[in-house]
Amino acid sequence: MLAIGLVILGFVGMEFFSWAFHKYLMHGVLWSIHKTHHQKQLGHFELNDLFSVFFGSIAIILIILGLETLDYRFWIGCGITLYGFVYFILHDILIHRRAVKWKRPADYYLDGITRAHRAHHHSNQRDNSVSFGLLLVPRRYFKHRNDKT
């Protein structure tokens, strides 16, 4: 039971950590890397993908450090890994369609997070973005599907 709680802690913790990291660092001192994500895609990869490598490395290190005894590091690393998987599916595949060309989601929640992320990308400037989270976004993006964002 403790293991499940630690996985959830790692997962939920990543949403809050990544929101703050995104808002204050990626749209701050790390803008030179992150701005590639706000520009027109020229290929499958962008410099911004280094952030995924960074977070993935942290998860791998935690899993390896906790592997022998299956302590808290292992389970939190699993939660971070699970968050990374969900992030990849929602952000890279569903929202940005980097691998598969899906239609706009019909699901109320998925449509809301897609609207929020598109609002985030409405500006390609460092200081004019809104909605920095992936899973937790402002309520205003959960409107009726036919409403404009």
Q: In Å, what is the CA distance from 46 to each residue of 84, 97, 132?
A: 17, 14, 19
First to last CA, the chain: 41
Residue type (1 letter), 74? F
One digit per residue, the tens of pLDDT, for the chain of length 149 reads 899 999 999 999 999 999 999 999 999 999 999 988 888 776 678 899 999 999 999 999 999 999 999 999 999 999 999 999 999 998 888 887 776 666 767 788 888 998 898 888 887 777 878 888 899 988 888 876 555 54
Which residue segment(s) compose the domain that 69 sits in?
2-104
* Model pLDDT, residue 12: 98
Residue at 131 is within a domain = no
Residue at 149 is within a domain = no
What pTM was estimated for this model as a whole? Answer: 0.87
Structurally, how many domains does the chain consist of? Answer: 1
Residue at 115 is within a domain = no
Among residues 11, 3, 128, the alpha carbon closest in space to that of 66 is found at: 3
Residue at 121 is within a domain = no
Residue at 44 is within a domain = yes
Residue at 31 is within a domain = yes
Residue at 139 is within a domain = no
- What span, in angstroms and rounded, lies between the C-alpha atoms of 112 and 137? 8
